[in-house]
Amino acid sequence: MAASVSGEHRMLIDGELVEAASGATYANVNPATEEEIGQVADAGVGDMERAVAAARRAFDETDWANDRELRKRCLRQLQEGLAKEREALRPQIVAEVGAPVTLTYAIQQDACIDDMEWDIECIDRIDWEHDLPEHEFFGMRSARRVLREPVGVVGAITPWNFPFMLNLSKIVPALAAGNTVILKPAPDTPWSATYIGRVAAEYTDIPAGVLNVVTAGDAAVVGEVLSGDERVDMISFTGSTATGKRIMARGAESLKRVFLELGGKSANIILDDADLEAQCRSGAMVCMHGGQGCAITTRMLLPRSRYDEGVELLKAAFEGWKYGDPNDPENLQGPLINARQRERVLGYIEKGKTEGARLVVGGGRPAHLDKGYYVEPTLFVDVDPDSTIAQEEIFGPVLAVIPYDTDDDAVRIANNSRYGLSGAVNGGDLDRAYAIAKRLRTGTVSVNNGQWFGPDSPFGGYKESGLGREHGMPGFEEYLETKTVGLPPS
Ligand code: ADP
């Protein structure tokens, strides 16, 4: 076990690192040990309202929205500060998220600090204003200019699975585009947000109120304040589809712009000419980070002609998968985030059994780990594509294997989902695999193990997996308005 860690317990509101007005705090719990690792400010409605007022004032009364050089300088200062203290952050992320330490050298921490560069460079990449040719309308000739402007005050609401990455994925493009931000992290992972608040306060010239970080134990209450407040122009949300719908409905009262990155139930189609050995040997990778990732391919579609062979290979892969203490660099699966999530996942496993799927590996709490919210890597085969475990997002280390007959069958099963976030197609013939990938109704697809993720690649969902895109130019433009100005002809 790692040595004890501590994180920033104060929020950032209106340029100050502050306690909650009530003085209340709540416990941050390590999901691997079930022990408290420290306290953090527990905001009430008043604290959130103060943060919203500060963000509104900063947008309306400072030069942040117009001064692109200031934004570039401040965001580079933030990036440098985050990078400078990253070795102090690493154990905090492992302790509060239960994230395997190996992942902190990539997507959970280091990669996202480096990836800030792309959004900062977008400040120079955006066409902030351009002229259209003169045009006649009602007998009048006019010149026209199209301007890009920030949306205004952005509420960023983030989940606990990749908290530091998702916090940065929202606040960096939002700030770079000239918005002001209130970041509300998930209650389980407050330090991944307060760290950013402290670094912003200590290392940067970001004006007071431009970036605010508000933590709360009952985050739905302050989250509702944020999504309902008419001073907020946009909510950028990552989390469950149910909460996304709630935020959209609440935001509708003031017609807020909403960006939603929601759940998934992605399918990995293994074609009959695939390298089955390689595909199935790596099949247990879906258990990485306990399966707590919205874009993980949690359904595997195996051709019936090679089904038994595939199931045997998967069984071996799941039985040999190493998991446990997230501080051990060999473990790519740690605990789930909390007891509620563990019980939810175990509930789905029971449901899978009662609905007739065949449990091949796992299915319970690991006998060798008496502390921590762990669930065994779990392999279900013979899964009915309409059953609960093939349709609902489990958010645990559970793979549902489904047999299919023809390529058309595979596409139909893959698209038989209310979600449309991601997917994969793997086969021996790249053209055939690519043609199938194009038929999937999802926002991203991996073909023959090609990785789609990157700061410049748009990510998001079709159907109930979301609205809009994060990352890439479409992701940056989520945070921009468009204004057209009519001018007299020259
Ligand atoms: P989970 O149920 O796994 O915690 P959620 O989608 O509910 O996932 O949570 C994602 C984020 O949304 C968290 O920051 C959470 O505090 C926040 N949240 C939950 N309910 C609401 C709500 N009604 N309004 C605004 N934010 C909310």
Asked whether residue 294 is assigned to any structural domain, the reply reads yes
Please report the sign of the dihedral spanned by the C-alpha atoms of residue 298, residue 192, residue 255, residue 483. negative
Q: What is the mean pLDDT of the chain?
A: 97
Q: What is the mean pLDDT of residues 112-118?
A: 97
Asked if the structure places residue 315 within a domain, the reply is yes
379 and 331 within one domain: yes
Q: Per-residue pLDDT for 221 more than 90?
A: no
Residue pair 426/270 in contact (Cβ under 8 Å)? The answer is yes
Q: Based on the domain organization, do 373 and 423 belong to the same domain? A: yes
Same domain, yes or no: 355 and 424? yes
Please tell me the pTM assigned to this model.
Answer: 0.97
Beta strands 398-404 and 299-303, pairing class: parallel
Maximum distance among all alpha carbons in the chain? 82
Report if residue 68 sits inside a domain.
Answer: yes
| Percentages of the chain per state (helix, strand, coil), in multiples of 5 | 40, 20, 40
Q: Which two tokens stand for residue 482?
A: 């468009």
pLDDT tens digits along 417-455? 999 999 999 999 999 999 999 999 999 999 999 999 999
Does residue 5 sit within a domain? no
Sheet containing strand 140-150, strands side by side? 129-137, 140-150, 480-487
Q: Catalytic residue numbers?
A: 261, 294
- pLDDT tens digit sequence for 296-328: 999 999 999 999 999 999 999 999 999 999 999
Looking up residue 432, the CATH number of its domain turns out to be 3.40.309.10
Query: Residues 320, 372: one domain?
Result: yes
Mean per-residue pLDDT, 167-191: 98
Residue 460 placed within a domain: no
Q: What is the C-alpha separation between 434 and 417, in angstroms, rounded?
A: 20
**Rounded percentage of the chain residues whose pLDDT exceeds 70:** 99
What CATH number is associated with residue 77?
A: 3.40.605.10
Say which DSSP state 3 is in.
P
Cβ–Cβ contacts within 10 Å for residue 306, how many? 18
Axis-axis angle for helices 68-84, 86-97 (nearest 10): 70
What is the spatial order of strands in the sheet that 180-184 belongs to?
Answer: 16-18, 11-13, 211-213, 180-184, 153-157, 234-238, 257-261, 466-467
Q: Report the distance separating Cα 188 and Cα 28, nearest Å.
A: 7
What the block records as the tokens of 186 is 């998930």
User: Confidence band (pLDDT; 50, 70, 90) for 2?
Assistant: very low
Contact 366, 132 (CB under 8 A): no
Long-range contacts of 403-406 (CB under 8 A, 24+ apart): 403/301, 403/302, 403/303, 403/304, 403/307, 404/269, 404/301, 404/302, 404/303, 404/304, 405/303, 405/304
Confidence of residue 4 (pLDDT cuts 50, 70, 90): confident
d(CA 435, CA 412): 14
Going from the Cα of 218 to the center of ligand 1, the distance in angstroms, rounded, reads: 10
Is the domain of 376 the same as that of 414? Answer: yes
pLDDT-based confidence at 16, cuts 50/70/90?
A: very high
With a 6 Å cutoff on the Cβ, whether 263 touches ligand 1 is no
Q: What's the domain range around 418?
A: 267-454
Q: Which residue has the tokens 């899978």?
A: 352
In a shared domain, residues 274 and 149:
no
Residue 459 placed within a domain: no
Task: Tell me, using a 6 A CB cutoff, whether residue 487 lines ligand 1.
Answer: no
pLDDT digits (tens, 9 = 90+) for 331-349: 999 999 999 999 999 999 9
Are 258 and 286 in a shared domain?
Answer: no
Query: Taking Cα atoms as reference points, which of 43, 53, 41, 172 lies closest to residue 114?
Result: 172
Q: Which atom of ligand 1 is nearest to the CA of 159?
A: 10
Indicate if the pLDDT at residue 350 is higher than 70: yes
Share of the chain above pLDDT 90, in %: 98
Any ligand 1 atom below 6 A from CB of 159: yes
The DSSP result for 157-196, as a single string, is E--SSSHHHHHHHHHHHHHHTT-EEEEE--TT--HHHHHH
Do residues 377 and 406 lie in contact, with contact meaning Cβ atoms separated by under 8 Å? no
Q: How far is CA 135 from the centre of its chain?
A: 44
Average pLDDT over residues 103-118: 97
Could you tell me if 315 and 248 lie in one domain? no
Reference 337, options 490, 177, 163, 89; nearest CA is 163
Band of residue 3 on the pLDDT scale cut at 50, 70, 90:
low
CA distances (Å), origin 440, targets 67, 220, 274, 450, 465: 42, 34, 18, 16, 14
Rounded to whole angstroms, the Cα distance separating 42 from 47 reads 9
The atom number, within ligand 1, closest to the CA of 158 reads 14
Bridge partner list, 141: 136
Task: Judge contact between 263 and 421, C-beta under 8 A.
Answer: yes
Q: How far is CA 292 from its chain centroid?
A: 10
Find the 232 Cα to ligand 1 centroid distance in Å: 18
4 belongs to a structural domain: no
Q: Do 415 and 437 belong to one domain? A: yes
Predicted confidence at residue 298, as pLDDT, reads: 98
Q: For the residues 194-212, what does the mean pLDDT come to?
A: 98
Q: Tokens at residue 314, please?
A: 């998967």
Q: Report the pLDDT value the prediction gives residue 441, as an integer from 0 to 100.
A: 98
- Bridge partner residues of 149 (DSSP): 481
The answer to whether residues 220 and 290 belong to one domain is: no
377 ligand 1 Cβ < 6 A = no
- Domain membership flag for residue 3: no
For the segment 37-50, what is each residue's pLDDT rounded down to a tens digit? Answer: 999 999 999 999 99
Cα 51 to ligand 1 centroid, rounded to whole Å: 19
- 100 with 220, same domain: the answer is yes
Whose Cα sits closest to atom 20 in ligand 1? Answer: 220
Pocket test for ligand 1, best of 40, 48, 52, 157 (most atoms within 8 A of CB): 157
227: Cβ below 6 Å to ligand 1?
A: yes
**Ligand 1 atom with the shortest distance to the CA of 238:** 10
- Please give the tally of structural domains in the chain: 2
Rounded distance between C-alpha atoms, residue 336 and residue 148, angstroms: 42
Looking at the structure, tell me whether residues 158 and 108 fall in a common domain. Answer: yes
